[in-house]
Structure 1
């Protein structure tokens, strides 16, 4: 890597870190070009050069942390042997990530992230394909073994992540959910909805 490329990467890191800091302190309304350049010490021209706009910067920040979350979910599944223990590990890994990164989780579960997901769903899936493929393969494997009900993949995804995302949003918004309790209760409740033998 050339010195110029190294400087470019360092600038990108400064901008992404500053954007998260500004979002954490000021919320989405405070996430402006001026606020980010001031917090990062990076010039306006550099922000536009690397990201094109403040929207491009925030999208890159969302993608960075989405990739990290998906990576942690994949890692959680890789150490499990059964579908049931996989569901338990995935739910707990998701809630642990939220607890450890509340500011990031606020961004990942924001209306801005929802808008990005709705308008750029195909691009997001393509960008995260390397992370999503192991999750998809894990589901297929356990459907083929007869552990998971043979439901359409989008429904399985909704049955697993729907309750976790809903709980996360409740915790982030109202704070009236105990994430430790949720990590104990949700896995078995979710498993009942997925199991090929719900008894």
Structure 2
């Protein structure tokens, strides 16, 4: 299967998994929606679980690369903390199918996902440690930092994507950005 065929499977998977979930999507439906033959499908994927894994890694990669670009766009810790909260909501609005998939599906841990996450978190932790040394951010472990920083924005987006609340608006983003800064800003914050 060419890379075009692989991409067709992943695009069909994003639509079908978003609508029916991985468990509710049949391999036959996935093949039909993508327009690839059985042989072409199995050339790259052993089954729909591997498609879900590849799609999840692709979504995470897009999000993480954009996250890091946003993080590096600010000179101050305060600007970065607030900017990344706004980025998170904006990314979810711009990529609702990908965000919904990432919030609802958790494929089995894979080497590709582990490597991607390891590199991403290493870079964010490195940035965080520099900010802590300068007194701009509080010194907490990585999990606590992410929960304080992005937990409320992630929950707001999850609720919106699941149809439990209206689409997030600018005022909500402002409030969550300020709350994130109050939660993680250090004694000498910008």
TM over 0.5: yes
Of the two structures, which has the highest relative contact order with CA contacts closer than 8 Å and spacing of 6 or more? Answer: 2
CA gap 1:143/1:102 in 2 versus in 1, 3 angstroms: same
Corresponding residue number in structure 1 for 2:75: 81
Cα pair 2:53 2:110 within 8 Å, conserved: no
Corresponding residue number in structure 2 for 1:146: 135
Cα pair 2:10 2:55 within 8 Å, conserved: yes
Moved more, 189-198 or 70-79: 189-198
How many residue pairs get aligned? The number is 188
TM-score calculated relative to the size of structure 1: 0.84
Corresponding residue number in structure 1 for 2:120: 131
Secondary structure at the counterpart of residue 86 of structure 2: helix
For 1:178 and 1:23, the matched residues in 2 are separated by: 21
TM-score calculated relative to the size of structure 2: 0.88
CA gap 1:156/1:121 in 2 versus in 1, 3 angstroms: farther
Mark the runs of 5 or more structure 2 residues left unpaired by the alignment: none
Superposition CA RMSD, Å = 2.2
Per-residue CA shift, 1:72-112, capped at 9, x if unaligned? 111111110111110111111110011111111110100x2
Moved more, 174-183 or 156-165: 174-183
For 2:101 and 2:65, the matched residues in 1 are separated by: 18
